[in-house]
Chains A and B, each alone.
Chain A
Amino acid sequence: MDTSQFKPKTVYVTYIDAPPAKVWQALIDPAFTRQYFFGFAIDVEPRAGGAFRLLAPDGSTHVSGEVLEWSPPRRLCVTWRVAGMKDFGELPECLVSYDVVQAGGSVQLTMRESHSWEVPEAILQGGQSGWPKILSSLKSLLETGKPLSIATGMPEGFMDAVKKAVAEKPWMKG
């Protein structure tokens, strides 16, 4: 797939006191993601071209996509379509990547959410509000053994913005 159209719109960097292999495991093992990612279990085929899903606690698919890069323990990149929220599945898919880099005594983890169209700010706010919760909890889990108990919750105006985008389909223009 041609990813040159996709530009990073939301980037979050954190540093974790854990070896790269441990951070990688926390990213791809459902026993970990359930604890820090709003209860979602990752289900990923460990190869480029494999299927990627995040499963809600009731077993339904919340996010689905395809693995574009699988380079343990350094880089994971997947396509990302939110299937489990009304209207959202009709938006163009985005890319989510994790880069794991040994930096001094700790690991630098960088998450990039990249889009192929001019996503309205109100929709980007969804990721900008969610990723700090998810990745703060991941850091707590690896450093203290205990995740944070943070509820999901979408910013004001988010669902309206999604609905508007789905109705107007701005990515079809130009």
Chain B
Amino acid sequence: MSNEQSSFVYVTYIRTTPEKLWRALTEAEFTRQYWAGTFQECEWKQGAAWRIMIPDGRLADHGEVLEIEPHRRLVLSWQNEFKPELRAEGFSQLTYLLEPQDDMVKLTVMHEIDRPQSKLIEAVSGGWPLILASLKSLLETGESLAATRKWSEGV
């Protein structure tokens, strides 16, 4: 990582298939359960607009699909919309990498932005571990973690 960049990297191993994990990352019926009630709107093809919506109808973050290889790799540009100090930082880049290993998938999530000491990266660094732990619980047990099932009041 250069001094001009901020980044967050998280790796988790989930007992599932790449196909199922891909659906869980992209489809509303899954994301609502482990990602605080949010859902994404996107055609999931290169160049398509991408939005993630808060359950009350506000826009949380938006961007576009930069690279897409179903079941393997997804790269999104990502700008926060609901917090002015994060929105001011402009676009970050999010990468999901899915690598099958035996009966599991190694999921790598990288969130990066071309600026030092990013508040956005600081904020998502606190959020991703909980969201991804809940995603793993959902796929392995059928139930997400209770704390991630609803959007927090007042946020």
Number of A-B contacts (CB under 8 A): 61
A-chain residues with CB within 8 Å of residue B143 when the two chains form the complex: 17
Contact A149 B103 (CB under 8 A): yes
Q: How many chain-B residues does the 8 Å CB contact rule pick out? A: 22
Given A108-B130, A136-B14, A150-B13, 19 further pairs, Cβ under 8 A? A13-B129, A15-B129, A15-B130, A103-B147, A105-B146, A106-B133, A106-B147, A133-B13, A136-B136, A137-B13, A139-B133, A139-B136, A140-B15, A140-B136, A144-B141, A148-B13, A148-B104, A149-B104, A150-B104
Interface residues of B (CB under 8 A from A): 10-15, 101-104, 129-130, 133-134, 136-137, 140-141, 143, 145-147
- A160, CB-defined interface residue at 8 Å: no
Q: What does DSSP make chain B's interface, helix, strand, loop or mixed? A: mixed
Most buried by A among B10, B129, B134: B129
Contact pattern, A 1-25, Cβ under 8 Å of B = 1, otherwise 0: 0000000000001111100000000
11 A-B residue pairs with CB within 8 Å: A17-B146, A105-B147, A106-B145, A106-B147, A132-B11, A132-B13, A136-B12, A148-B13, A148-B104, A149-B102, A150-B104
